[in-house]
């Protein structure tokens, strides 16, 4: 069999890997296609989810769980340093955040702070592996392509507004380091293309994603769309995929085309936002992503992910200059996140919108991994600090971490879990695993823990073996 026709277009080359991966995964059995009633249906407290992803590993002691502050001094003992910022009060009595997060601190009366998230032990710590685990709830590798949590929600709940894609991902480029690893979990896996993410790498150019290229009239664009359909039909998926996979891809293409001609497309046009509001959010691509998330929520989006973006050794991936990098990262996230929460509350959307702020793991200056499960050190961190670049949290720490939850049936002004006040600043009360966190999210959406599809002649659950349990202490009773 000749595959020369696939090489005629770079498009085919780019889509082949994803298509073949989807084909290899198979397809859910028909009895579990969307529209089937889940068993033991539960009441929902949320219709929309916004995931604010702090990519790269955010140190809990430098953000939402500050410890004793030690200002930089040449010759200081590195083991003394638990926090490189002083603590500042929040809206909650007795609860402090790290300096630079004052605005988020002032909206904590509207949400819950988890201080005891613990990441999995997966040997040598790699961001891609832990990000895959966080977003899918499954440790890699798997024999099938595990769906992203946003894809599960899109599959089980469907679009809230039929014009707006059910799963939208904002802010992550795939032209930076570890691009292929990032693509591995930005997918619907075996659920099918129609439940995968509508990707907007740069929110400032979001309008370009929902309109034809400049200079292309409607007739020419229609011909271009027909050509695209023909190319897909000639791809490996078009020739060898199952009927389910072909129909899924077709529905995905039709939905994207429908969005182009809809009035809801204006949600992607940030220039329509009043200047005063735009300026608050405009701290960079992440801040504008939060603004787009607000606008999309108000137009009926189902699941939106906004990321600070993972790129090795940039952003929150602080392998050196941890303190100075954190100053800039806090400026990027503080005002937009706080404003997003206030705006959604003011517009009446927060009660039915669940907002999650999370990261793949935390950081520490001296410990790599967990105190009782240390792994290979990846950063040269001297015991005595003479250079400012070593002042900060540079090692990957998996025994604690902070998660923020707002709206959607989550308790207000609540703190859950506790970490030690001295190194190692590990979880000492109410540890939270990823399956518990995922099932808490699903519970708010009315998705029961036993929800499953059959793939490769075995059940595949939203959490491994269907054992994830929601954390009742986080939820408003009868929400």
Helix (H) or strand (E) holding 343: helix 322-346
**Residue 429 binned pLDDT confidence (cut-offs 50, 70, 90):** very high
**What backbone phi and psi angles, to 5 degrees, belong to 450?**
-85, 5
State the average pLDDT over residues 60-66.
98
Beta partners for 461? 452
**Residue 218 binned pLDDT confidence (cut-offs 50, 70, 90):** low
Question: 411, 407, 295, 413: which is closest to 351 by C-alpha?
Answer: 407
- Report d(CA 76, CA 324) in Å as an integer: 18
pTM of the full structure: 0.87
State the average pLDDT over residues 279-289.
98
State the average pLDDT over residues 213-241.
64
Does residue 418 come out as left (phi exceeding 0), alpha (psi in the -120 to 50 range) or beta? beta
* Domain assignment present for 291: yes
Instruction: Give pLDDT, residue 377.
Output: 87
- Report d(CA 241, CA 239) in Å as an integer: 6
Question: 473, 337, 416: which is closest to 117 by C-alpha?
Answer: 416
**Residue 216 binned pLDDT confidence (cut-offs 50, 70, 90):** low
Residue 209 reports pLDDT greater than 50: yes
Residues in contact with 457: Cβ distance below 8 Å, sequence separation at least 6, in sequence order: none
**Residue 126 binned pLDDT confidence (cut-offs 50, 70, 90):** confident
Q: What percent of the chain has pLDDT over 90?
A: 72
* Domain assignment present for 479: no
- Report d(CA 289, CA 295) in Å as an integer: 10
Beta partners for 357? 52, 404
- Report d(CA 285, CA 301) in Å as an integer: 20
State the average pLDDT over residues 394-404.
97
- Report d(CA 284, CA 288) in Å as an integer: 6
State the average pLDDT over residues 67-88.
98
* Domain assignment present for 2: no
Return the exposure string of 465-477: e unless at least 16 CB atoms fall within 10 Å of the residue's CB, then b.
Answer: ebebebbeebbee
Domain of residue 244 covers: 7-474
- Report d(CA 265, CA 207) in Å as an integer: 8
Residue 20 reports pLDDT greater than 80: no
Q: What percent of the chain has pLDDT over 70?
A: 81
* Domain assignment present for 139: yes
* Domain assignment present for 1: no
The beta-carbon contacts of 200-205 under 8 Å, at least 24 apart in sequence, are: 200/168, 200/169, 200/170, 200/171, 200/268, 200/292, 201/171, 201/172, 201/173, 201/174, 202/171, 202/173, 202/285, 203/170, 203/171, 203/270, 203/285, 203/288, 203/289, 203/291, 203/292, 204/270, 204/285, 204/288
Instruction: Give pLDDT, residue 394.
Output: 96
Q: DSSP 3-state assignment of 464?
A: helix
**Residue 89 binned pLDDT confidence (cut-offs 50, 70, 90):** very high
Instruction: Give pLDDT, residue 363.
Output: 97
Instruction: Give pLDDT, residue 181.
Output: 92
**Residue 25 binned pLDDT confidence (cut-offs 50, 70, 90):** very low
**Which sign does the torsion angle of CA 470, 473, 478, 479 carry?**
negative
Residue 353 reports pLDDT greater than 90: yes
Tokens at 371, concatenated: 């105190």
State the average pLDDT over residues 436-457.
95
Does residue 130 come out as left (phi exceeding 0), alpha (psi in the -120 to 50 range) or beta? alpha
Residue 49: give its domain's CATH number.
Answer: 3.40.720
Residue 39 reports pLDDT greater than 60: no
* Domain assignment present for 293: yes
**What backbone phi and psi angles, to 5 degrees, belong to 364?**
-145, 160
List alpha helices for 158-213, DSSP H: 179-183
* Domain assignment present for 148: yes
- Report d(CA 362, CA 195) in Å as an integer: 30
The answer to whether the beta carbons of residues 6 and 235 sit under 8 Å apart is yes
Provide the domain count of the chain: 1
List C-alpha distances in Å: 60 to 96, 113, 191, 475. 12, 12, 34, 23
**What backbone phi and psi angles, to 5 degrees, belong to 216?**
-100, 115
* Domain assignment present for 65: yes
Mean pLDDT for all residues in the chain:
87
The answer to whether the beta carbons of residues 48 and 160 sit under 8 Å apart is yes
- Report d(CA 311, CA 461) in Å as an integer: 30
Does residue 350 come out as left (phi exceeding 0), alpha (psi in the -120 to 50 range) or beta? alpha
The answer to whether the beta carbons of residues 116 and 156 sit under 8 Å apart is no
Count of H-run helices and E-run strands, the chain: 12, 20
């Amino acid at each position: 069999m000749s595959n020369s026709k696939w090489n005629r277009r770079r498009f085919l080359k780019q889509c082949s890997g994803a298509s073949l991966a989807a084909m290899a995964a198979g397809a859910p059995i028909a009895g579990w296609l969307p529209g089937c009633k889940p068993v033991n249906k539960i009441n929902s407290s949320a219709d929309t989810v916004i995931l604010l992803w702090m990519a790269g590993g955010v140190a809990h002691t430098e953000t939402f769980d500050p410890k004793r502050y030690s200002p930089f001094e040449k010759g200081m003992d590195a083991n003394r340093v638990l926090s490189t910022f002083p603590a500042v009060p929040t809206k909650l009595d007795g609860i402090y955040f790290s300096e630079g997060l004052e605005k988020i601190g002032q909206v904590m009366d509207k949400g819950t702070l988890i201080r005891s998230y613990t990441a999995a032990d997966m040997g040598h710590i790699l961001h891609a592996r832990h990000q895959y685990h966080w977003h899918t709830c499954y440790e890699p590798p798997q024999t099938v392509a595990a769906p992203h949590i946003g894809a599960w929600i899109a599959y089980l709940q469907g679009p809230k507004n039929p014009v707006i894609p059910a799963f939208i991902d904002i802010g992550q480029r795939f032209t930076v380091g570890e691009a292929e690893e990032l693509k591995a979990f930005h997918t619907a896996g075996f659920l099918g293309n129609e439940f995968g993410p509508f990707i907007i790498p740069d929110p400032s150019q979001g309008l370009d994603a929902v309109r034809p290229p400049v200079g292309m009239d409607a007739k020419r664009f229609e011909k271009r769309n027909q050509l695209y359909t023909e190319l897909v039909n000639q791809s490996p998926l078009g020739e060898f995929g199952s009927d389910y996979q072909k129909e899924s891809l077709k529905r995905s293409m039709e939905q994207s085309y429908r969005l182009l001609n809809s009035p809801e497309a204006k949600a992607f046009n940030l220039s329509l936002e009043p200047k005063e509001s735009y300026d608050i959010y405009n701290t960079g691509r992440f801040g504008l992503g939060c603004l787009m998330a607000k606008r999309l929520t108000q137009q009926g989006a189902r699941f939106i992910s906004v990321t600070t973006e993972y790129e090795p050794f940039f952003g929150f991936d602080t392998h050196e200059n941890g303190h100075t990098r954190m100053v800039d990262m806090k400026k990027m996230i503080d005002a937009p996140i706080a404003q997003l929460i206030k705006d959604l509350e003011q517009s009446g959307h927060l009660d039915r919108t669940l907002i999650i702020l999370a990261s793949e793991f935390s950081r520490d200056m001296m410990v790599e991994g967990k105190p009782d499960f240390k792994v290979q050190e990846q950063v040269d961190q001297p015991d005595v600090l003479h250079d400012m670049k070593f002042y900060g949290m540079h090692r990957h720490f998996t025994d604690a971490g902070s998660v923020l939850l707002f709206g959607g049936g989550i308790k207000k002004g609540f703190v859950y879990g506790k970490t030690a006040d001295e190194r190692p600043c590990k979880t000492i009360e109410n540890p939270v695993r990823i399956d518990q966190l995922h099932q808490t999210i699903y519970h708010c959406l009315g998705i029961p823990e036993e929800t499953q599809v059959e793939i490769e002649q075995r059940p595949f659950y939203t959490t491994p073996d269907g054992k994830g349990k929601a954390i009742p202490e986080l939820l408003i009773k009868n929400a």
